[in-house]
Amino acid sequence: MTTATLPPGPSAPRLAQGVYALTVPLRGLRRLRDRYGDAFTINVPIFGRAVVISDPAQIKQLFTAGAEVDNLEPNLGRVLGPGSLFALTGAEHRKQRKLLVPPFHGRRLAAYEKIVEDETVRELASWPEDREFATLPSMMRITLGAILRAVFGAEGAELSQLRELLPPFVTLGSRLAVLPITKVDLGRWSPWGRFWIMRREYDAIVERLITKAERDDLDQRDDVLALLLQSRYDDGSRMSHGEIADQLLTLLTAGHETTATTLAWAVERLRRHPGILRELVEEVDAGGSALREATILEVQRTRPVIDMVGRQVKADAFRLGPWTLPKGYTVVVGITLIHDDESLFPNARAFDPSRFVGAKPDLYQWIPFGGGTRRCVGAAFANMEMNVTLRTILRDFSLTPTAERDEQWHSRGIANAPAKGGRAVVRRRAPQQAPAATAAGARS
């Protein structure tokens, strides 16, 4: 039997460590890193004993490991369905991922830019001038509309129905995923009862979208649903309708709020950095995109909306750097910890997009999308979406800078959002004679 060797860590009881982790989540982890170094062991409720890492070499080792580690025991499968990428591990996960990755490949994305711009213009039409408001609800509507049209291929009645149904459905689902209440349907007034009513409604709408798509010439369609209907597993079989419904819901849950909160952070950051804001506006007017792309990378470095990703040791032991972790141990990658490491990002607490102009971020140091076989499927889509949305906002509105304090982090369950929702004061700009711009290059 291999002997476990674990990094050092606090010896306080599990509950006390849990309370500390929950009440001072960001500062708490930073303090532990400062005290114990870039690998330490914690003992918290839900994860149990877990090793938190933030060293790029160890992160690379974890992300590129084989079957000896896999996703954390999936809880999300309870609400997203058994076919969801989040619910699958091992060979089943690889099989589904093989079909889900190609529709999000960088070269396909140009087809979706128009949809994102349309959704943004539609939403911006209701933005008030000279009055402070939170931008997060707008960003949520933009990213919802973009996913429903580009991923679900929804238009007309189904699009309206999904716009209504999905926000409360996903909110309820993400609560049920973490609450320790039984998965019993106690009628329409119980949480699971309400959940199943909404799920049946969702399945019926997706079934109608599939029927419509199958009547269309699928070759003429670019949406992810149409691509999934044409895809085949290695043995030549097709995805079942149930699998497609589960995966579309997964893509929406993973991609809607994460992208919206990052955009709200972009507004929050830019209003506090007027020099960068001015340069961005000049760049938009000149039809450029390099600084905007770098800004999006820097927003994600300094305000990663998912602050950690985890894996579980499946082999009897897993060697990670100098440590040997036993089976069942959780390894948590501290995204915020590595993103504010001075040795990797000099002057790390400063918001400085110029560090990414003309420089591609390192895959094991800049990790807002996680990494390895579980890296975010929608990373390139999200970057395109944020690029087009930001470009449209800067083209059509002036954002008024502010000297107010930074907005604090606020956990919304799935993503960490600016606590006041990325508040903005805007004024509509006179129409610009802007050169035709594309989001090309905003691929990751």
- Chain positions contacting ligand HEM, by CB under 6 A: 85-86, 97, 147, 151, 250-251, 254-255, 258-259, 262, 305-306, 309, 368-371, 374-378, 381-382
Nearer to ligand HEM, 389 or 392 (CB): 389
Hey, what long-range contacts does 199-203 have (CB within 8 A, 24 or more apart)?
199/169, 201/161, 201/165, 202/162, 202/165, 202/166, 202/169, 202/245, 202/249, 203/242, 203/245
Nearer to ligand HEM, 28 or 371 (CB): 371
CB of 343 to ligand HEM, least distance (A): 23
Tokens of 173: 């689902």
At a CB cut-off of 8 Å and minimum separation 6, what does 440 contact?
110, 289
Cβ burial 324-362 (10 Å sphere, 16+ → b, else e): bbbeebbbbbbbbbbbbbeebbeebeebbbebbeeeebe
CB of 47 to ligand HEM, least distance (A): 15
Nearer to ligand HEM, 273 or 374 (CB): 374
Residue whose entry in the numeric block shows the structure tokens 């009440």: 23
Task: Quote the CA–CA distance of 290 and 271 in Å, as a whole number.
Answer: 19
**Which amino acid, one-letter code, is at 373?**
T
Nearer to ligand HEM, 192 or 311 (CB): 311
Nearer to ligand HEM, 361 or 368 (CB): 368
Task: Quote the CA–CA distance of 441 and 289 in Å, as a whole number.
Answer: 8
CB of 93 to ligand HEM, least distance (A): 6
At a CB cut-off of 8 Å and minimum separation 6, what does 130 contact?
425, 426, 427
Q: Angle 241-271/191-215 helices, nearest 10 degrees?
A: 100
CB of 131 to ligand HEM, least distance (A): 28
CB of 133 to ligand HEM, least distance (A): 22
CB of 1 to ligand HEM, least distance (A): 30
Tokens of 184: 């019993």
Residue pair 241/206 in contact by the 8 Å Cβ criterion = yes
CB of 147 to ligand HEM, least distance (A): 6
Nearer to ligand HEM, 17 or 153 (CB): 153
Nearer to ligand HEM, 101 or 181 (CB): 101
CB of 185 to ligand HEM, least distance (A): 27
Nearer to ligand HEM, 17 or 336 (CB): 336
